[in-house]
Amino acid sequence: MTSGVRLGADQVAAIDDGDALNAVAPVDVVANTIRGPTAGRLIGKVKPGGVLASVTGAPDNAKHFPAVRVVAFVSKQDAKTVLHMAQAVSAGRLVIPIDRKLPLKDAAAGHAAVENGVNGKVLLVT
């Protein structure tokens, strides 16, 4: 699990752990990247007046949470945006925490590391 404090999060929970997710206190904003029942559980964690920002659209049960604003968006990469992001990385304004780099042949070890908890991304490189 990524360190929440290091990333500026107040709370961190594994979404595949029902007890952990149930223990999360209501929040102002959820950034959702998952469809299906998990998205339906996540919207239930948003405080009235809060926002569920989702790249997968509104969860099926969104109508049951009228006080939560669902903002669906689509990320569109274009040359100008990619250049802007690359410049932000170079200047240190955009930091992507990387826990480790592994050769592609060690992908299984990378998956195991993620399952056991890491403090950033695991990159598979060729």
Backbone angles phi, psi at 108, to 5 degrees: -60, -40
Instruction: Say how far apart CA 43 and CA 52 lie, in whole Å.
Output: 6
Could you tell me the pTM of the whole model?
A: 0.56
- Cβ–Cβ under 8 Å, residues 28 and 46: yes
Break the chain into its structural domains and give their ranges. 4-75
Residue 7 confidence (pLDDT):
57
Each residue's pLDDT tens digit, 45-104: 999 999 999 998 899 999 999 999 999 877 677 899 889 989 998 999 988 889 999 999
